């Protein structure tokens, strides 16, 4: 490719690259601050080595960008061909930045609770939008940044499925599309602005040359008159072209809802573009506007903050960005994102501020609606849990009476020789106990969802525990003609966990295996292992329950651990149950820092695996206490 071809493909590249590099310090600081905040928030949700490694990666890329920025400042003026090299180096680092954020936050969201996932999604959206004003001056450089930032999260939510997952994936895709469209339009705006600036310089140079020739040929009046007429004609043509380009620029800004303005600090006068006037609902060209007048347009609750940000930027002669609400003449409000650069004199004192305003009202309203929907869902869930807890308590009292009286009546019937009543009384007793068990499961789940379940961690002898559980479950297994196989090491050792909840997890899995298997095999195994960190890594205990029963269809595997879900609706009449046992087991496993998974094929059986730390810790999220509670 020739040099001229490169210029045609990447017009005004040197000027755009210098603009991108000018925003490097703020970009580096924002990345480091956001990475530090996200690491702090996620410190209790992910292992420290993962968070530290990710933060070191982001910090390393930011150091590289800082070094590149310093070298760029020393390079001085460079040609269009040299600008391609500077842009390529910057694009590599911004792509690494995007990959670091996208892949890193994907790891965070795969392990974090829902609230932390939403927080992480907001951070990713902010990072993607934050890079727009700077990187979109060269659109493909912004494309290489924003796709790695949002792409993994979109894929993750789509993979998670469900209403929330698909909704987040769709909103993420819409945000990505909106940012790419806005970035492309912003590049067009920048190109038009640079083109106009270049044409203005050409016009000035042309007029200067013509003036010098006119002075040299002052004595040739006729030729001078013809030359002046030609110059006037050329100037009118250039002005017409400039007017057309200004109209194109105004149209582009209107489509992008992007207004630009200039503040002459020395004379305290603000010059606003047509689109900026439309955005603020005021004609700032008809009546002179100073800084204080424009500041009064800002919402009273945001005014002090915006004033502090601008004054600090002017004092330090450095760029700034912020978002705030404005009040229109009719009393309505808009949300505006503002970004500006400060121009100083030779002594470093600020003389002008050049800025843009972007209407982000729709995005702001969407975020508010999303938060409101989230709060409503949480309140509904809490109300449901409280209702279940209250109803479970109310139902258990009469059920205990029914069970007790049925046992008394059965004993009386046996003493009186009324053996014909015994089967009916036994059915009443068995049904009552079954219903009481279901209610207890509902109560356990409601306690979990209400955050009232406590962990009581203690040292557990695994050999004694497995022996006790095997003895308890063996009659259930053999009732369906099955064989129970216990496969544990000779000395399985100790572990620290909640013994009651661990027993409940294993009993749920073994009783399910016995229930869904007939004349087959139920295998209960135990093993210990360390994670990928090797000898110094974390030690885990793995429990497995495998059966040769009916198995689970693939489409039901994703919902088998959800409350009130059963693998197939057609099994209800034969096997019964509420579908709560596996949901409770999953909650208990996660509370102790572990996880539960399943592999299954229809007709071949299922294998459930519980992985728990050998030294379990309380992994429940901290309760948020609101002001006034």
346 and 419 inside one domain: no
282 and 311 inside one domain: yes
What's residue 533's pLDDT?
58
Across 48-57, 282-291, 313-322, 507-516, least confident range: 282-291
154 and 13 inside one domain: yes
Across 326-340, 394-408, 462-476, least confident range: 394-408
Among the ranges 30-44, 393-407, 485-499, which has the highest mean pLDDT value?
485-499
pLDDT band for 45, please (50, 70, 90 cuts).
Answer: confident
Among the ranges 259-273, 402-416, 534-548, which has the highest mean pLDDT value?
259-273
Query: What is the average pLDDT across 101-122?
Result: 77
**What's the CA gap between 146 and 553, in Å, rounded?**
39
Q: Residue 358: CB partners within 8 Å, gap ≥ 6? A: 256, 257, 258, 336, 337, 338, 339
What's residue 486's pLDDT?
92
What's residue 578's pLDDT?
56
pLDDT band for 310, please (50, 70, 90 cuts).
Answer: very high
Let me know: does 282 contact 297? Beta carbons within 8 Å.
yes
Of 190 and 25, the one with more pLDDT: 25
pLDDT band for 396, please (50, 70, 90 cuts).
Answer: low
Q: What is the pLDDT of residues 208-259, one digit of tens each?
A: 777 777 667 666 777 777 777 788 877 777 777 766 666 665 666 565 567 8
Let me know: does 51 contact 42? Beta carbons within 8 Å.
yes
Question: What separation, in Å, do the N-terminal and C-terminal C-alpha atoms of the chain show?
Answer: 69
99 and 193 inside one domain: yes
Residue 2 has pLDDT above 60, yes or no: no
Query: How wide is the angle at C-alpha 605 spanned by C-alphas 604 and 606, nearest 5°?
Result: 140
Q: What is the pLDDT of residues 125-175, one digit of tens each?
A: 888 888 777 777 788 888 888 888 888 888 888 888 888 778 888 888 988
Q: Residue 320: CB partners within 8 Å, gap ≥ 6? A: 309, 310, 312, 313, 339, 340, 342
385 and 526 inside one domain: no
Q: What are phi and psi of 330, to 5 degrees?
A: -85, 5
The residue with tokens 């040197």 is 14
Domain termination site, one of 411, 429, 449: 449
**What's the CA gap between 169 and 483, in Å, rounded?**
46
Domain termination site, one of 426, 449, 472: 449
What's residue 4's pLDDT?
43
Q: Which of 377, 341, 378, 371 is nearest to 356 (CA)?
A: 341
**What's the CA gap between 381 and 307, in Å, rounded?**
42
Let me know: does 582 contact 512? Beta carbons within 8 Å.
yes
H or E segment to which residue 358 belongs: strand 350-359
**What's the CA gap between 306 and 316, in Å, rounded?**
16
Across 58-62, 176-180, 379-383, 460-464, least confident range: 379-383
Residue 535 has pLDDT above 60, yes or no: no
Is 623 part of any domain?
no
Is 411 part of any domain?
yes
Let me know: does 470 contact 484? Beta carbons within 8 Å.
yes
What's residue 613's pLDDT?
93
Is 271 part of any domain?
yes
Of 152 and 621, the one with more pLDDT: 152
Strand partners, 526: 543
21 and 169 inside one domain: yes
The CATH number that applies at residue 328 is: 3.30.450.20
Is 184 part of any domain?
yes
Residue 518 tokens, joined: 């007939």
Residue 58 has pLDDT above 80, yes or no: yes
576 and 511 inside one domain: yes
What's residue 494's pLDDT?
93
Residue 547 has pLDDT above 70, yes or no: yes
The string of DSSP codes covering 229-274 is: HHHHHHHHHHHHHHHHHHHHHHHHHHHHTEEEEEEETTTTEEEE-H
Residue 419 tokens, joined: 């053996």
The CATH number that applies at residue 490 is: 3.30.565.10
Three-state SS at 372: helix
C-alpha to C-alpha distances, 541 to 506, 590, 594, nearest whole angstrom: 13, 14, 9
- The fraction of the chain above a pLDDT of 70, given in percent, is 82
C-alpha torsion sign, points 148, 149, 154, 160: positive
What's residue 307's pLDDT?
93
Is 590 part of any domain?
yes
270 and 385 inside one domain: no
Q: Residue 308: CB partners within 8 Å, gap ≥ 6? A: none
Indicate the average pLDDT of the chain: 80
Of 362 and 396, the one with more pLDDT: 362
Domain termination site, one of 324, 359, 394: 359
What's residue 369's pLDDT?
84
Query: Secondary structure of 28-48 in the HEC alphabet?
Result: HHHHHHHHHHHHHHCCCCCCH
94 and 176 inside one domain: yes
397 and 346 inside one domain: no
Residue 366 has pLDDT above 70, yes or no: yes
Query: What is the average pLDDT across 519-530?
Result: 92
Burial class of 125 by CB neighbour count within 10 A (0 to 12, 13 to 18, 19+): buried
> What domain count does the chain have?
4
The string of DSSP codes covering 508-543 is: HHHHHHHHT-SSSEEEEEEEEEE-TTGGGS-EEEEE
Across 241-245, 309-313, 589-593, 615-619, least confident range: 241-245
Residue 239 tokens, joined: 């002005």
**What's the CA gap between 121 and 127, in Å, rounded?**
10
The CATH number that applies at residue 391 is: 1.10.287
Let me know: does 535 contact 595? Beta carbons within 8 Å.
no
Q: Residue 576: CB partners within 8 Å, gap ≥ 6? A: 434
Is 499 part of any domain?
yes
Query: What is the average pLDDT across 339-350?
Result: 88
Let me know: does 40 contact 125? Beta carbons within 8 Å.
no
Name the region of 593 (left: φ>0; alpha: ψ -120 to 50; beta: rest): left
Which ranges in 331-421 belong to alpha helices (H)?
361-416
Let me know: does 598 contact 557? Beta carbons within 8 Å.
yes
Of 628 and 156, the one with more pLDDT: 156
Dihedral of the CA atoms 424, 429, 434, 440 (nearest 10)?
160
Query: What is the average pLDDT across 313-317?
Result: 90
Residue 430 tokens, joined: 């068995």
C-alpha torsion sign, points 409, 414, 416, 422: positive
The residue with tokens 């705006």 is 189
**What's the CA gap between 344 and 328, in Å, rounded?**
32
Q: Residue 205: CB partners within 8 Å, gap ≥ 6? A: none
Domain that holds residue 277: 257-359
Is 507 part of any domain?
yes
**What's the CA gap between 474 and 511, in Å, rounded?**
9
pLDDT band for 389, please (50, 70, 90 cuts).
Answer: low
479 and 519 inside one domain: yes
Is 284 part of any domain?
yes
Residue 185 tokens, joined: 């339009």
263 and 313 inside one domain: yes
Let me know: does 142 contact 132? Beta carbons within 8 Å.
yes
What's residue 626's pLDDT?
35
Query: What is the average pLDDT across 53-68?
Result: 88
Q: What is the pLDDT of residues 469-484, one digit of tens each?
A: 888 888 888 888 999 9
Residue 541 has pLDDT above 90, yes or no: yes
């Amino acid at each position: 490719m020739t040099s001229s071809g490169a210029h045609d493909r990447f017009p005004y590249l040197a000027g755009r690259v210098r603009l991108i590099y000018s925003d490097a310090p703020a970009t580096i600081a924002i990345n480091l601050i956001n990475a530090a905040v996200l690491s702090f928030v996620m410190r209790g949700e992910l292992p420290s080595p993962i968070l530290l490694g990710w933060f070191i990666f982001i910090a390393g890329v930011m150091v590289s960008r800082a070094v590149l920025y310093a070298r760029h400042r020393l390079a001085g003026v460079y040609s269009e061909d040299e600008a391609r090299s500077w842009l390529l180096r910057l694009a590599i680092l911004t792509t690494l930045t995007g990959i670091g954020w996208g892949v890193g936050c994907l790891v965070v969201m795969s392990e974090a609770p829902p609230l932390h996932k939403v927080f992480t999604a907001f951070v990713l959206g902010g990072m993607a939008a934050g890079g727009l004003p700077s990187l979109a001056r060269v659109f493909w450089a912004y494309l290489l940044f924003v796709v790695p930032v949002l792409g993994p999260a979109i894929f993750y939510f789509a993979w998670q499925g469900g209403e929330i997952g698909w909704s987040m994936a769709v909103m993420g895709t819409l945000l990505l599309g909106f940012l790419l469209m806005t970035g492309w339009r912003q590049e067009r705006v920048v190109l038009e602005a640079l083109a106009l600036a270049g044409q203005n310089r050409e016009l000035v140079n042309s007029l200067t040359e013509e003036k010098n020739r006119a002075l040299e040929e002052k004595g040739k009046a006729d030729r001078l008159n013809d030359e002046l007429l030609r110059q006037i004609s050329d100037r009118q043509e250039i002005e017409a072209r400039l007017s057309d380009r200004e109209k194109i620029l105004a149209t582009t800004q209107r489509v992008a809802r992007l207004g630009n303005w200039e503040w002459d600090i020395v004379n305290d006068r603000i010059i606003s573009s047509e689109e900026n006037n439309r955005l603020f609902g005021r004609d700032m060209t008809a009546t002179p506007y100073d800084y204080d007048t424009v500041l009064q347009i800002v919402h009273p609750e945001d005014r002090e903050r915006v004033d502090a940000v601008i004054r600090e930027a002017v004092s330090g002669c450095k760029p700034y960005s912020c978002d705030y609400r404005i009040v229109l003449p009719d009393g309505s409000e808009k949300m505006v994102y503002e970004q500006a650069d400060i121009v100083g004199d030779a002594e470093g004192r600020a003389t002008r501020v050049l800025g843009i305003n972007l209407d982000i009202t729709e995005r702001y309203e969407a975020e508010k609606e999303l938060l409101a929907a989230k709060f409503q869902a949480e309140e509904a869930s809490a109300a449901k849990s409280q209702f279940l807890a209250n109803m479970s308590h109310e139902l258990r009292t009469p059920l205990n009476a029914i069970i007790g009286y049925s046992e008394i009546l059965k004993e009386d019937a046996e003493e009186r020789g009324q053996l014909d009543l015994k089967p009916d009384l036994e059915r009443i007793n068995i049904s009552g106990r079954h219903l009481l068990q279901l209610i207890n499961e509902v109560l356990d789940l409601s306690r979990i969802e209400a955050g009232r379940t406590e962990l009581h961690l203690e040292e557990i002898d695994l050999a004694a525990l497995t022996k006790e559980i095997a003895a308890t479950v063996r009659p259930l297994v053999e009732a369906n003609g099955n064989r129970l196989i216990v496969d544990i090491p000779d000395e399985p050792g100790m572990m620290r966990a909640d013994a009651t909840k661990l027993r409940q997890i294993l009993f749920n899995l073994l009783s399910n295996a016995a229930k869904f298997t007939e004349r087959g095999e139920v295998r209960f195994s135990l093993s210990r292992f360390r994670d990928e960190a090797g000898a110094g890594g974390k030690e885990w205990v793995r429990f497995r329950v495998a059966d040769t029963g009916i198995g689970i269809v693939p489409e039901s595997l994703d919902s088998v651990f959800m409350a009130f879900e059963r693998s197939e609706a057609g099994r209800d009449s034969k096997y019964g149950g509420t579908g709560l046992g596996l949901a409770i087991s999953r909650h208990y496993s996660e509370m102790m820092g572990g996880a539960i998974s399943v592999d299954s094929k229809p007709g071949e059986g299922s294998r459930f695996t519980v992985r728990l730390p050998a030294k379990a810790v309380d992994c429940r999220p901290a309760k948020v206490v609101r002001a006034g509670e």
